[in-house]
């Protein structure tokens, strides 16, 4: 069996490379700095909260509505948290600039480890995306202009959506107009070498089932793979490996590494109208 980049790492180096909180020690300060921006979004945007897309407590999404009557482009955002943390309410700020541009934005929750394994996390995220495809029109959205973005574990879930056979679910085979994947981990296997695995409980079989750097992408929409220049080199390599994977399957993804950003403050770009991230979203027509 070929050696992988993480096989020879010491436990300390594995944590540094594959546990973003170790490589960005100011992550709590970043969250605290962004909290007022997020609270302002919650207070000012027109929101329909906690729409259920399944029976579970976390099977809910929030819709953020633009002015007017539509039909609007639709954008779905999936948060990070290494598949075991965070909540949609903390990411209202991702909707602000998009809503200003006339986009209907959905911020999704999904089942978290350790209450479920990664199998359940992926299944619930796909159920939320399926709800968007089926029901966005009922809220003024245009499902033919549905785009997705996700950060960290959320980028992995977007990759899962791109590898899903939507026609087998009775939906259009090509339901997405574009996708932006930010600072993702597309092969979960390295996480097994970190302390995070105490909560996410990966096994080799589970990691292999959800290795989207190995599964053929079935959706042919434009895709961008983005990461921060200050992220650890082996975390960055996950983005490069996934971009190469898309390229091998006939896709031509955009690849963008933004200098001066690490794993957490890269999300500040959602709140900056002229940021690289927002320019990419505009190119994806959202």
Segments making up each domain of the chain, as ranges: 11-283
Which residues of the chain register pLDDT less than 50?
Answer: 1
Tens of pLDDT, residues 51-66: 999 999 999 999 999 9
pLDDT of residue 246: 97
Length of the chain: 286
Spatial separation of the C-alpha atoms in residues 13 and 270, rounded to whole Å: 30
* Start-end of H helices in 78-140: 96-100, 118-135
Q: Which CATH superfamily is domain 11-283 in?
A: Alpha/Beta hydrolase fold, catalytic domain (3.40.50.1820)
Phi, psi of 226 (to 5 degrees): -130, 150
* Residue 5: per-residue pLDDT: 82
Instruction: Answer whether 178's CB lies under 8 Å from 286's CB.
Output: yes
pLDDT value of position 59: 98
- Give the chain's mean pLDDT: 96
Reported in sequence order, the residue ranges of the chain that DSSP labels E, i.e. its strands, are 46-52, 60-65, 72-78, 104-108, 141-151, 178-182, 223-228, 254-258
- pLDDT score of 2: 63
Confidence at residue 286, expressed as pLDDT on a 0 to 100 scale = 67
């Amino acid at each position: 069996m070929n050696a992988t980049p993480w096989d020879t790492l010491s436990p300390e180096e594995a944590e540094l490379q594959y546990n973003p909180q170790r490589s960005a020690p100011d992550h709590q300060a970043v969250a605290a700095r962004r909290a007022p921006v997020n609270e302002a979004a919650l207070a000012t945007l027109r929101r329909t909260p906690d729409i259920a897309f399944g029976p579970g407590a976390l099977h809910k999404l929030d819709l953020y509505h633009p002015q007017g009557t539509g039909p609007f482009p639709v954008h779905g955002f999936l948060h990070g948290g290494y598949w075991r943390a965070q909540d949609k309410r903390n990411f209202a700020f991702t909707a602000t600039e998009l809503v200003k541009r006339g986009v209907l934005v959905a911020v999704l929750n999904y089942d978290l480890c350790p209450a479920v394994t990664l199998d359940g996390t992926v299944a619930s995220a796909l159920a939320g995306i399926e709800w968007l495809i089926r029901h966005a029109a009922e809220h003024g959205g245009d499902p033919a202009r549905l785009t997705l973005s996700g950060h960290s574990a959320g980028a992995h879930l977007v990759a899962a959506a791109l590898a899903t056979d939507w026609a087998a679910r009775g939906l259009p085979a090509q339901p997405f107009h574009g996708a932006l994947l930010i600072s993702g981990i597309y092969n979960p296997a390295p996480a097994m070498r970190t302390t995070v695995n105490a909560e996410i409980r990966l096994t080799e079989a589970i990691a292999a089932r959800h290795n989207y750097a190995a599964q053929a992408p079935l959706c042919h929409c434009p895709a961008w793979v983005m990461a921060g220049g200050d992220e650890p080199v082996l975390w960055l390599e996950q983005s490069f490996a996934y971009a190469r994977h898309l390229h091998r399957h006939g896709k031509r993804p955009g690849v963008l590494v933004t200098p001066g950003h690490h794993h957490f403050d890269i999300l500040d770009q959602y709140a900056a109208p002229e940021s690289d991230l927002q320019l990419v979203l505009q190119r994806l027509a959202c």
